[in-house]
Amino acid sequence: MAYLFQQILNALQLGSIYALIALGYTMVYGIMTMINFAHGDIFMVGAFLCFVAATVLGLSFIPALLFSMLGCALLGVVIERLAYKPLREAPRVSAVITALGVGLMLEHLTLVFSPYPRHVPALWSSASWHVGGVTLSSLQVLIIVLSVLLMVFLDWLVRRTMLGLAIRAISWDRTVAAIMGVPVDAVISLTFAIGASLGGAAGFLYALAYPVIDPYMGVIVGWKAFIAAVVGGIGNIRGAMLGGFILGAVEILVAAFLPSTYRDLIAFALLFILLICKPYGILGQPRPQKV
Amino acid sequence: MNRHWTIGLLLLAGAALSWAIPRYELLNPYLQATLMYLGINIILATSLNLINGYLGEFSVGHAGFMAVGAYASAILTVMLLPVGAAAWRFPLAIMAGGCAAALTGLVVAIPAFRTRGDYLAIVTLAFAMIVKSALENINAVGGPRGLLGIEGLSTMPWIFAWTVLSVWVIRNFVYSNPGRGVLAIREDEVAAELMGVNTRRVKIRAFMIASFFAGVAGGLFAHLLQFISPRIFDITKTTDILVMVYLGGVGSIGGSIVGASMFTVLQECLRPLGVWRMVIMPLLLVLLMLFRPRGIMGLRDFPWFRPSVECPQRPPETHPS
C-alpha cells in the first residue's frame, strides 16, 4: 500500500512536468493550429539555463527559476517572430517542418556548447519526511505545488482576463478578431512567451528532479508531452493538464509493477488504444467538416 | 515514343554503371557507399511523399516501417534462410521486409484513418515509438544492443534496381485511377467522397504502398550497414526523411529525388564542419521553408515523370491545408 502511494507521488511529480510542457503545445495549437515541434527543445533549453544559472551565475532558487522562464520566453518570442510569423499564410505543414528544423537547430547549438551531459547542482536543499512508509521529499512537493500553481494561474489567465479573452478570440477566428481590434501579432507573441516560459519552468524543475541533462533530453520528453496534449484534446488547456497527469501515471505505474524497459512500450500502446477509442482526446471536441 | 526511348536508355546506362562502378572500382568506396545510401534515401523520400505530399496527411512514423522491414529481412537472412544459397535469397528477404512493413501499415492505417491531420500524426508517432521499444524488449533480435552479423548483400545493382522499381511503382500509382483519388482526397476529402472516391480504401492502399517501400528501404539499409539497432530508427530518422521530402517539395516525385540527393550530398559535403554541420542543415531547412515554403519543386514535377496526356492541375496557390 505504501509502495502504491509512493508511486502515485512519483506519478504526480512526472505528470506535472509533462502537463507543463503539454500546455505549451496546446496553447500554440489553440491559437495558430500549429504543432510547435520546437517546444520540447525549449524545455531542454530551460534545463540548460537552470544549469547556467546554478553554475556560472551562481543564482539561488527563485532567481534561477525566473532566469529559466524569462530566457525561454524570450527564445519563444524570437522563434515565433523570425521563423513562424512569415509562414502564417503558408500551408500549415511548412510551419510544422520549420518547427522541426528550429528544434534540431536548438539541440545542435546546445551540443556545440555542451558536448557532454551535464550534472546540475542541487539548488534546493531537499529534506525528506517519512509518513507511514512513504518517503516524501520537499523537492517533490515543491515541483508538484509549483506546477499546480502555474497551471491554476494559466487557467485563470485564459478564462478571466482580457489577454485570455484575446487569446480565445484569436483561436476562434483570427481575421474577425483582428477586425474587432485585437492586436493579433502581439497576442500571438505573448502566447508563445507564456507557453515557452512554462516549458522553461518544466525544464528547470526536471533538471532539479533528474539532474543529468543533455541536449537531446527534450526530444523524447517533448514528444511524450505532445502526446499528452493530444490525449487531453489538443487546443484544450485543461485537457493538456489532464493528459500530462495521465501519461505520468501510466508511465510510473508500468515501471513500478512491470520490468521498466516495458515502460515506453505500454505507455504508448495505451495511448494508441485511447486515441482509437476517443480520436479527439478526452476533453477535445470533434470539429465538424465543412463542405 | 521518343521519350520512352530516352528513359529506357538512361535506365540502361544507370544499370550498366551500377554494375561497372563496384566491378572496376571507378569510384572510391566512400563515394560508392554514399551513392548507395542515396538510393535508399530516394526510396524513403518518395514513399513518404506519397503519404505526406500526395495524400496530404502528416505521417511521422516512417522510421517505424523502415525498422519493421529492416528487422524482418535481416532476421530472414541471418537466421532462417540458408547462407550462401541461391540468388533468390536476398530479393526474397527484401520482399518479405516490404510485405511485413505493408502489413504493419495496414494494422496502423485501419484505426489511424478514422481521424485526420494532427491526430494521424500522433497515431503514427505512437506507432513508431511502440516499434522501437518493442524491438528493444525482444532479446531474440538483440534487444537494445541491436542485430549483428548481417551479411553485406546490398550491392549497387540491387539498390539501383529497387530505387528504380519504387520510383516507377509510386509514380505509376500516383497517375493511375486510384492515384487520382489520392489527389482528390488531398484537395478536398468530402468532395472526393461525394464524387465516388472510396476514400477509406484509397487511403489505406496508399498507406500500404508507402509502408511497403519504407520496409524495402529498411531491408536494403540493414544489409548495407550490416548492423541494425532500435536506436537507428528513432524519431531523428523520421525527421531526416521529412526534411528530404519537404526540402524537395511535397507532391512531386522529382522533388523527392532532388530532396534526397541534396540532403545526402549536403550531409557529406558539410562533414568537415563537425558538429556545426548539424546546426547548418536545419538552418538551411528553415531558410528554405521561409523563402520557398513548398520546397524546391513544390507540387511541380519534371516533365518525364508526367504522363503524356496531362490532366489540368490546379495552380499551386489554391492548395489548402
pLDDT tens-place string over residues A81-139: 999 988 888 777 778 888 888 998 999 899 888 888 888 888 777 778 887 778 888 88
DSSP string, A9-40: HHHHHHHHHHHHHHHHHHHHHHHHS---TTHH
Shortest alpha-carbon distance between residue B285 and chain A (Å):
6
Residue A289 resides in a domain: no
**Which structural domain range is residue B186 located in?**
29-234
**φ/ψ of residue A163, rounded to 5:** -60, -45
Residue A122 resides in a domain: yes
Question: Is there a contact between B236 and B103 (Cβ–Cβ < 8 Å)?
Answer: no
Residue B143 resides in a domain: yes
pLDDT score of B42 more than 60: yes
Instruction: Round to whole Å and give the CA distance between B160 and B32.
Output: 12
Q: What is the pLDDT of residue B222?
A: 93
pLDDT score of B321 more than 50: no
Residue A245 resides in a domain: no
Question: Is there a contact between B159 and B91 (Cβ–Cβ < 8 Å)?
Answer: no
Q: What is the pLDDT of residue B319?
A: 47
pLDDT score of B83 more than 80: no
Residue B174 resides in a domain: yes
Q: Do A261 and B236 touch (CB under 8 A)?
A: no
Residue B14 resides in a domain: no
Nearest one of B44, B16, B53 to B218, comparing CA atoms: B44
Residue A68 — very low, low, confident or very high, per pLDDT cuts 50/70/90? very high
Q: Do A265 and B130 touch (CB under 8 A)?
A: yes
Residue B302 resides in a domain: no
Shortest alpha-carbon distance between residue B239 and chain A (Å):
8
Higher per-residue confidence, B85 vs A138? A138
Q: What is the pLDDT of residue A60?
A: 86
Q: What is the pLDDT of residue A183?
A: 92
Residue B141 resides in a domain: yes
Residue A193 resides in a domain: yes
Collapsed DSSP state (helix, strand, coil) of residue B228: strand
* Average pLDDT value for chain A: 87
CA A228 to chain centre: 9
Look-up: residue for cell 515523370? B305
Residue A128 CB-density burial (10 A; 0-12 exposed, 13-18 middle, 19+ buried): exposed
Query: Tens digits of per-residue pLDDT, B272-307?
Result: 887 788 888 788 888 888 888 777 877 677 777 777
**Strand partners of residue A137:** A128
Residue A234 resides in a domain: no
Chosen for mutation from B133, B238, B267 (greatest number of chain A CBs closer than 10 Å) is B133
Residue B9 CB-density burial (10 A; 0-12 exposed, 13-18 middle, 19+ buried): exposed
Residue B103 resides in a domain: yes
Query: Tens digits of per-residue pLDDT, A19-40?
Result: 999 999 989 888 888 888 899 9
Q: What is the pLDDT of residue A161?
A: 92
Shortest alpha-carbon distance between residue B41 and chain A (Å):
18
DSSP structure class, residue A278:
S
Residue A23 resides in a domain: yes
Nearest one of A221, A204, A260 to A63, comparing CA atoms: A204
Q: Is the CB of residue A271 less than 8 Å away from at least one CB of chain B?
A: yes
Q: Do A100 and B243 touch (CB under 8 A)?
A: yes
Q: What is the pLDDT of residue B82?
A: 67
Higher per-residue confidence, B261 vs B301? B261
Instruction: Round to whole Å and give the CA distance between B53 and B49.
Output: 5
Look-up: residue for cell 534487444? B143
**Which structural domain range is residue A168 located in?**
14-218
Instruction: State how many domains chain A has.
Output: 1
pLDDT score of A203 more than 50: yes
pLDDT score of B118 more than 70: no
Residues of chain A with Cβ-Cβ distance to B122 below 8 Å are 226-227, 230, 275
Query: Tens digits of per-residue pLDDT, A270-287?
Result: 777 877 777 777 777 766
Q: Is the CB of residue A270 less than 8 Å away from at least one CB of chain B?
A: no
**Which residues, other chains included, contact A204 with Cβ-Cβ below 8 Å and sequence gap of 6+?**
A46, A47, A49, A50, A64, A65, A68, A69
Which element (helix H / strand E) includes B210? helix B199-225
ipTM of the complex model: 0.80
**Which residues, other chains included, contact B303 with Cβ-Cβ below 8 Å and sequence gap of 6+?**
none
Residues of chain A with Cβ-Cβ distance to B114 below 8 Å are 276, 279
Residue B3 — very low, low, confident or very high, per pLDDT cuts 50/70/90? confident
Shortest alpha-carbon distance between residue A93 and chain B (Å):
8
Collapsed DSSP state (helix, strand, coil) of residue A213: strand
Q: What is the pLDDT of residue A38?
A: 92
Residue A185 resides in a domain: yes
Instruction: State how many domains chain B has.
Output: 1
Q: Do A230 and B119 touch (CB under 8 A)?
A: yes
Residue B24 resides in a domain: no
CA angle A208, A213, A219 (to 5 degrees): 115
pLDDT score of A289 more than 70: no
Question: Is there a contact between A18 and A228 (Cβ–Cβ < 8 Å)?
Answer: yes
Query: Tens digits of per-residue pLDDT, B26-38?
Result: 888 888 889 999 9
Residues of chain B with Cβ-Cβ distance to A35 below 8 Å are 118, 121
Cα dihedral B287/B292/B297/B299 (nearest 10): 130
Q: What is the pLDDT of residue A201?
A: 94
* Nearest neighbour of B242 by CB, restricted to A97, A261, A280: A97
Residue A270 resides in a domain: no
Q: Is the CB of residue A74 less than 8 Å away from at least one CB of chain B?
A: no
Instruction: Round to whole Å and give the CA distance between A142 and A62.
Output: 12
Q: Within 13 Å, how many C-alpha atoms sit on residue B293's CB side?
A: 21
Q: What is the pLDDT of residue B318?
A: 46
Q: Do A101 and B283 touch (CB under 8 A)?
A: yes
CA distances from B254 to A47, B143, B168, B269 (A): 42, 38, 12, 22
Closest chain B residue to the Cα of A84, Cα to Cα: B290
Residue B287 resides in a domain: no
Q: What is the pLDDT of residue B110?
A: 83
**Strand partners of residue A129:** A136
